[in-house]
Structure 1
Amino acid sequence: MGKRKIPMRKDIVSGEMFPKKELVRIVKNKENEVSIDPTGKKQGRGAYIRLDVDAASTARDQKTFDSAFGIKIEPSFYDELYAYVDHQVARMELFGNGK
């Protein structure tokens, strides 16, 4: 059996490419609502951020998704993103590959 291709996506904070499983998708829908998309299948414009607490902190400080989506995003979203990333990192440390 041949090797499977690993889907790669660009982290919006660092600009580096990472395997899709190491990132989380943030999506903006038609109503300009921004949300975390753990499934990666929600409708709308998506951007990826690495599952790293420092990356989430940098995104919050630089308001990365405000400029990526061209809208003003509430600070509470960045707090939610930080909490989500922190939780996922802790899960990966406990269980391995995030499962």
Structure 2
Amino acid sequence: MKQRKIPMRKDVVSNEMKPKKEMVRIVRDKEGAVTIDSTGKKSGRGAYISLEPVAVEEAGSKHILDKALNVAVTDDFYAELLAYVKHQKARQELFGTKDAK
């Protein structure tokens, strides 16, 4: 059986290439609204952060998403992102990597 290609994405915090399933996509739409893209298919400018709470905290302290998406990202969004990442990390540990998105 042929091996499937694993899609890789670059983490905006660490600048490392990682599998897409280990990342979360943040998207800025045409209106400038920044949201978490859990499906990975929303239209707009996207940036990827790994599913590590430490990476999200670093992104919040250095305002890395502001630079990557060319928009001012609020501290409330960084808090929401941190909660999302912690939840997804816990899902991965409970159910394995198949169910985590």
Structure 2 residue runs of 5 or longer lacking an equivalent are none
How many residues are paired up?
99
Aligned to 2:2: 2
Stretches (4+) displaced over 3 A: none
Fraction of identical pairs, as percent: 57
Deviation, structure 1 residue 4 = 0.6
Aligned to 1:69: 69
Aligned to 1:11: 11
Distance in 2 separating the partners of 1:84 and 1:48:
14
TM superposition score normalised by structure 1: 0.97
Opposite residue 2 of structure 1, the aligned amino acid is K
Q: 3-state DSSP class of the match of 1:46?
A: strand
Deviation, structure 1 residue 98 = 5.0
Distance in 1 separating the partners of 2:83 and 2:72:
20
Superposed CA deviations along residues 26-75 of structure 1, whole A, max 9, x for unmatched, are: 00000000000010000100010000010011111111111111211111
TM superposition score normalised by structure 2: 0.95
C-alpha change, 1:14 and 1:5, in structure 2 (3 Å) is same
Q: 3-state DSSP class of the match of 2:3?
A: coil
Distance in 1 separating the partners of 2:98 and 2:72:
31
Distance in 2 separating the partners of 1:25 and 1:58:
16
